[in-house]
Chain A
Amino acid sequence: MTAWILTLVIASPLVGAALLLLPRAENRRVIERIALWGSLVTLLLTVVAAVLFFRHPTDGGFALKLAASWLGGTGEGADLREAGNPLAGAGIDVAYRVGVDGISIWLLLLTAFLTPLALASSFTAIRERVREYYILLLLLEVGMLGVFCSLDLLLFYVFFEFTLVPLYFLIGIWGGPEKRKAANKFFIYTLGGSVLTFAGVLFTAYYAYAHGAGKFTLNIEELMRLARGGAFPPNVQWWVFLALAAGFAIKVPLFPLHTWLPLAHTEAPTAGSVILAGVLLKLGTYGFCRLSIPLLPDASRAWAPALAVLAIAGIIYTALAAWVQRDVKKLIAYSSVSHLGFCILGLFSMKLAGMNGAVMYMVNHGLSTGALFLVVGCVYERYHTREFDKLGGLARRMPVAAFFLIVFTLSSIGLPGLNGFVGEFLVLLGAATSNQVTDGLAAGPLGFSYAAAAAVGIILGAVYMLYMCGRVLFGPLVEPAHTPDTSHGLSHDLTRREVGILAPIALACLLLGVYPKPMLSSIQSAAQANVFQPIEVRQASAGALGDAAPFVAMGSEIGIPMLAVAQQEGPPATVAAGADDLEWVTSARFVPQEHDSP
């Protein structure tokens, strides 16, 4: 059971999609119900997987693993020997291989959590070709779950690419007026980047093979082990990083490669936007943190300043762009780009704090931005417009919707007490302390100036989000003629179904804001085991232990056997002094609601 649970998780939406073929007529009620129950079963299985995962502590390593032969294996070698092929002895290790660690389990949960909500949000919005719509959404879920579970590079790439197909159809069939253009641009743009990723992946595997791996392997764990042993020299890493980043940066999207995103978001149906912002963009950041940083540590350091500058440029530029949008959905789309800049900044701070923050930010952004798209979708269904000029004072007409819009806006701009704050703070902390030797990790490539520049983006974020809320919710009531549209069981304010969709997300935002500790500790142990190289702990421990010390204290506080090396070697006095200096950090990090801002 433990080994098969992830496969069940990945396959369960597929079963749901197959069941959707059964109803003879296009009976909307039946189809919607099958789809919803299918995705709820997936959610249940994912929760079971999470429980199994957390019940067996793994010290950050991968758990719930399963491997099955796919391309190559021992069987074919025998045939080749018969045919007299001199290559017969070579082992090929490309398999269906799944597993999760403390980083991917949260993204898995996020995916399984958002999909039923996205499905349920479509019940009134999608009225034609219903069956295909839900099948595609479930297929999309398969792709996303697969990416987060993959422990084989080829499998990762296959799922990574496969997510394009369902979303291409979702945008192209059920999208807005420019749907074809948006769908094509989305597809070609992302494919253009990811084929280079593909070349990079192949090159990595061949390089490892030619230089002593002993067999041709695309096993991510195996490649990580090789990378730790220094199998990839820096000049090779430099190119491979560029190739991998081509795909991931477009997916994130990193400024200036973001132009496909606002178009895709504006044209996509609500559920498509929710999934796109909520999960799909994370495939890019997840790729960076699962592959680029662990496999190519030297190149990641070398490229980090460049990526951070692009991220900050993107944070500020897209925040300004969001400010001038006249369309609520477009504004949120631009805010997505801005927010994901923070993720990149956190990842490439090369610090545990930054990594923690970035992964948490991924989940937070998925929840709050996904929810914002849902609320905007609710408004759009009633008013058939999303333009500021045609909407105003809606708080009077739909107070419940207004409540949720404000909650998610606050979560999105990082109000302490809600989830956004924790991630944002840790990202900035990671970026600011990056050039110091903290966490026992060598000094990173970023520094305080990066954090300061990014902080401008936080202010801008608050400005445009609150401006949007003010325009839409308050002031005199402005509604287009002949609206609100209350056909198809809609009421003026949110229906019970819509409240049922939004309330769980709001609850999750609150929970993660108040008590992020379980999430952060599992992310941290996974980051230590699977993202950063422990060899650096040894390198760093010799020199500047004083800076590392506060984090030693912090590590033991959250119960992780962290930095054992540093603790043993360090003089106790330094530890105490360092702990005093940064005590506010330790407390702010885990009891965020007591502090207003960094």
Chain B
Amino acid sequence: MTFSSLGHLLPELILLTGACALLIVGLTRFAKTPSALSLLAGGMIAGALVATLLIGIPAEVGDLPGLALSPLTFYVRWLTLTVGLLLILLNWRQAEPSEQGEYLALILFAMLGILLTASASDVVVLFFAIELVSVPTYILVALSRRDVRASEAAVKYFFLGALSAALLAYGLGFLYGASGTTSLASMAGVWASRLQPASIAGADMLVLIGFLLAFAGLSFKIAAVPFHAYVADVYEGAASPVTALLGFVPKLAGFIALIRIMETVHWQLPASVMWLIWIVAALTMTVGNVLGLLQTNVKRMLAYSSIAHSGYLLLALLVGPALGAGPMSNGVTALLFYIAVYGVMNLGAFAALSSFQRGDRTLETLDDLSGLARSQPWPALALSVCAFSLMGFPPTAGFLGKLYIFSGAFSLAPDHAFRMPLIVLAVIGVINSAIGAAYYLRIVGACWMNRPREEVASVPGMTERLGLNIAGLAMLVLFVAPGPLLTKARIGAASQARSRSSSIATAVDPGPRGSATSAETSLAAHEP
């Protein structure tokens, strides 16, 4: 590694520096100045964002051991840091003043983990990156409030998370065993050259076992059925600003890791595994939405909503970077677009909960939201926009997100073997959107139609409300002009399309430079 190649990791380095600086400054007298630490954290993230935009889509750098930069890296950097700024707004003064330094540093560490997940080129680095996302979130849950429920949630989350980490590590171990290499690109190369056609169909059981274990481990992170049981309790236990983070950070990391692993098997899975993921996706949507109907606590409701949304995203993952008839979006584009939209709208909903309080606690139940529109019409409107967006209702970005996901499912080539099951899954998905609408409507209904019990009080400070307003506005703006985000998502997904097309063309060069470059050569051979 040379010094100049480190420049390509500037966003990561800025986050790391920022996190360490926060740990240190948090111990000094500086920390007593209100907002100083939050400003520092926000500034560091903004700096990393500027660096990301300056670097743009990173060029291939050969001498970064364990890391390979790709268009996907750029998308994930950009997305994580943008949503990260909103998360800092929400968490502006959530922690105890004495713990603020550690608290914000942990958020930065978790974001660093996502960035590394997107650029890891080695299963060991990938595993560590995922853990770098997970461990801070366990602590954040515990730190988020002085409440026995928060501690309980943290313990639950930690033990299940540790189990999932073990599963993931075990799975990645099998993948190493099956390929003889820890490099993701080399793995892809080994399997492409060993298997004709490029598919793990009927191939080593080792690869299958490894893939399934890794999938199970990551299913905890993305909260897919049957690994979803902890979600509602953890969401309820943690303070709302942290819950907003839990809805986005682990999910993004989990899906990015899944994309990276799918890449190694060239997005070609045997039918039995496809069906397995199909069933998981269908169950995840349905269980999430149906259980969501039963909740009266908004945070639990949003927890089940988070599960349901993982189901939609799994549908997009199943579609993958299909080179079928789909110009509108392929699965990975849809996934990247929707996870961005989901992160913001979900964050908006939690921002609304943490912007107001009844008595000494922030809003939690439907009853707490009663009549919010009477006293606070604009925040109630922003919350309603986010709820309609979660529902997938026009004119919000959530609608476009669902549009891209479901149209992706229709986009497989007519002769694709898994086309009909995916169309059926898309229909299950749209029916689920209608089921889900029932509980999101209860949130909207509580705000606008219930009689207020008593006036809600704004929490001191405006940052949560600022986050809420930005989220609500973003949902409307992204509906009218999705172009910029969509183009970024397309570029991010393009490397996946190339990695798959390269496997089809079977011209694979398992060099250390990663699948993205090897695909460059095969692109010419690809027929659309």
Q: Which residues of A contact B (CB under 8 A)?
A: 71-72, 75-76, 79-80, 83-87, 89-92, 94, 132, 154, 157-159, 161-162, 164-165, 168-169, 172-173, 179-180, 183-184, 187-188, 191-192, 195-196, 198-199, 202-203, 205-206, 209-211, 215-216
Chain A hits for B328, CB < 8 A: 71-72, 92, 94, 216
Question: Cα distance A162–B520 when bound, in Å?
Answer: 44
A402 to B506, CA, bound (A): 82
Q: A86-B526, A173-B449, A206-B326 are in contact. Are A71 and B406 (CB under 8 A)?
A: no
Verify A86–B323 contact, CB threshold 8 A. Answer: yes
Q: Which residue of A lies closest to B328 (CB)?
A: A216
Known: A191-B437, A192-B434, A199-B430. A157 touches B394 (CB 8 A): yes
Contact check, A209 vs B494: say whether CB atoms are below 8 A apart: no
A195 close to B430 (CB less than 8 A): yes
Minimal beta-carbon separation of A257 from chain B (angstroms) = 14
Measured between beta carbons, the chain B residues less than 8 angstroms from A90 are 327, 528
B58 interfacial contact with A, CB 8 Å: no
Q: Assess A199 versus B426: contact at CB under 8 Å? Given A162-B394, A206-B326.
A: yes
Please report the total number of B residues contacting A with Cβ < 8 Å.
50
Task: State the total of A-B contacts with C-beta under 8 angstroms.
Answer: 133
Q: Is the CB of B497 within 8 A of A87?
A: yes
Residues of chain B contacted by A161 (CB below 8 angstroms): 393-394, 399
Instruction: Chain A residues near B486: list those with CB within 8 A.
Output: 71, 76
Chain A min CB distance to B134 (Å): 31
Cα–Cα, bound, A187→B388 (Å): 12
From A79, A157, A162, contact of B491 by CB (8 A): A79
Known: A87-B323, A169-B448. 6 other contacts (CB 8 A): A79-B490, A86-B323, A86-B497, A183-B445, A196-B430, A206-B325
Q: Given the known A-B contacts A75-B483, A86-B526, A202-B406, are A210 and B323 also in contact in the complex, defined by CB atoms under 8 Å?
A: no
**What are 23 A-to-B residue pairs whose CB atoms are below 8 Å?**
A71-B400, A76-B486, A76-B487, A79-B487, A80-B487, A80-B490, A83-B494, A85-B497, A85-B498, A86-B497, A86-B498, A87-B326, A89-B528, A159-B394, A162-B393, A162-B395, A188-B434, A188-B438, A192-B434, A195-B430, A198-B406, A202-B406, A211-B414
Picked from B388, B482, B498, the residue with its CB within 8 Å of the CB of A84 is B498
- Cβ of A84 and Cβ of B523 under 8 Å apart? yes
- Judging by beta carbons under 8 Å apart, are A179 and B449 in contact? yes
Q: Which 7 A-B pairs have the closest CB atoms?
A: A90-B327, A210-B325, A195-B430, A158-B394, A206-B410, A83-B494, A192-B434
Closest A residue by C-beta to B377: A132
Residue pair B407, A202 in contact (C-beta under 8 Å): yes
B59 at the A interface (CB under 8 A): no
B61 in the interface (beta carbon within 8 A) = no
Contacts of B410 in A (CB 8 A): 202-203, 206
Question: Contacting B449 at CB < 8 Å: which of A76, A180, A192?
Answer: A180
Chain A proximity of B353: nearest CB distance (Å): 21
- Asked if B305 is at the interface of the complex by the 8 Å CB criterion, the answer is no
Residue in contact with A165 in the complex, picked from B325, B393, B501, CB distance below 8 Å: B393
Q: How far is the CB of A566 from chain B (nearest CB, A)?
A: 39
User: Are B437 and A80 closer than 8 Å at their CB atoms?
Assistant: no
| Residues of chain B lying within 8 A (CB to CB) of residue A75 | 483
A80 vs B498: C-alpha distance in the bound complex, in angstroms? 12
Residues of B within 8 A of A216 (CB): 326-328
CB atoms of B528 and A86 under 8 A apart: yes
Encoded as 1 (CB less than 8 Å from any A CB) or 0, chain B from 399 to 431 comes to 110010011001101100000000100110011
B39 lies within 8 A of chain A by Cβ: no
Chain A positions within 8 Å of B394 at CB level = 157-159, 161-162
Residues of B within 8 A of A76 (CB): 483, 486-487, 490
Residue of B nearest to A87 (CB): B327
Q: Out of A94, A158, A179, A211, name the residue touching B399 (CB < 8 Å).
A: A158
Indicate whether A210 sits within 8 Å of B497 (C-beta atoms), given known contacts A71-B400, A188-B438. Answer: no
- Interfacial chain B residues near A195, Cβ < 8 Å: 430-431, 433-434
Q: Which residues of B contact A71 (CB under 8 A)?
A: 328, 400, 482, 486
Do the beta carbons of B325 and A188 come within 8 Å of each other? no
Measured CB to CB, the closest approach of chain B to A72, in angstroms, equals 7
Asked if B441 lies at the interface with its beta carbon under 8 angstroms from chain A, I say: yes
Give chain B nearest CB distance to A179 CB in angstroms.
7
Contact B438 A184 (CB under 8 A): yes
Q: How far is the CB of B311 from chain A (nearest CB, A)?
A: 15
Residue of B nearest to A131 (CB): B377
Residues in B whose Cβ lies below 8 Å from that of A169: 448-449
Shortest CB-to-CB span from A146 to chain B, Å, is: 10
Q: How far is the CB of B434 from chain A (nearest CB, A)?
A: 4
Give the residues in chain A near B393, CB-CB below 8 Å: 161-162, 164-165, 191
Residue in contact with B445 in the complex, picked from A89, A184, A199, A205, CB distance below 8 Å: A184
Q: Give A406 Cβ to nearest chain B Cβ, in Å.
A: 37
